[in-house]
Amino acid sequence: MISEMVMHAGRAGMLFAAVIKTLPRVRNCLPDVWRHAKRIADGLPLVLTMGAISGAVLAQQTSYQLNPSLPDSVIGVAVAAGVLTELGPVLTAIVLAGRIGAGTGAEIATMKVSDQIDALLTLGRDPVLELVTPRLLAASAMLPICVLLADCVGIAAGHLFSTMLLGVEPHQFLAGVKEQYHHPALIFSATKGFLFGIIIAFVSCYTGLQARGGAAGVGRTATSAVVSIIMWVMVTDAVIAPLYKTIATS
């Protein structure tokens, strides 16, 4: 078990180093970066839907548990804080892990088990530059955008739900949002999106490159990619969560 973990850590480190080495030649793969960015953008409707639902549910739960002596602006504070720091980035990453991570893992695994990657090497082409780097750049650029859009939609949905169904005055909700909707919170949310984008692309590519066993291996790779991405997203979220206080007070 430990030896296998060390082996995977070493292989992942070598792959990441190979990606870094390809960055000076990134102009050669810009069309692929754009293509993968468009694929990520295709998942935006689902991301925004999840963002809206999370904002509405958070407003509803906060309202139910709110002490009657507290002002309704607390709902705005809770929605903005919850969406910006946790729900927006994490739910966006989980949605795109299922949509992009599984597809990428299965696609690269299919190329691996059918010897297409070996064919690229035979032709003198760099599989990392053609398969991994474009996906990594596209995901690291698009995830912060998706996260910030999901944040805005989540807060807007919480506002509509609170004012239309919970009877909260619009100015009270917005007063609570203004307490949390500041530059450090936005930077923290976008930074999470950037890190989660790297995780989604890198883990799915690495898992695909390790595929074995024909068609059955492709199926296992798709499942393993999603599970591994979600695990690393949650671990990363737990590690960087304490940094928010430092950023907010700086």
DSSP codes of every residue in 161-216: HHHHHS---HHHHHHHHHHH-SHHHHHHHHHHHHHHHHHHHHHHHHHHHT--SHHH
Secondary element (H or E) of residue 157? helix 133-165
**Contact in structure between 226 and 98 (CB atoms under 8 Å):** yes
What global pTM score does this model have? 0.91
What length is written for the chain? 250
95 domain residue, yes or no: yes
Count of structural domains, the chain: 1
**What confidence score (pLDDT) does residue 199 get?**
96
4 domain residue, yes or no: no
CA-based angle 44:79:186, to the nearest 5?
60
Question: Containing domain of residue 75, as a range?
Answer: 29-249
Q: Among positive and negative, which fits the CA dihedral 188, 56, 197, 37?
A: negative
Q: Point out the residues of the chain with pLDDT beneath 70.
A: 1, 67, 69-70, 245-250
203 domain residue, yes or no: yes
24 domain residue, yes or no: no
What is d(CA 198, CA 88) in angstroms, rounded to the nearest whole number? Answer: 17
173 domain residue, yes or no: yes
161 domain residue, yes or no: yes
Q: Which amino acid, residue 148?
A: L
What is d(CA 185, CA 194) in angstroms, rounded to the nearest whole number? Answer: 14
**What confidence score (pLDDT) does residue 247 get?**
62
Helix or strand or coil: residue 123?
coil
**What confidence score (pLDDT) does residue 74 get?**
87
What is d(CA 63, CA 66) in angstroms, rounded to the nearest whole number? Answer: 5
15 domain residue, yes or no: no
**What confidence score (pLDDT) does residue 242 get?**
81
**What confidence score (pLDDT) does residue 198 get?**
96
9 domain residue, yes or no: no
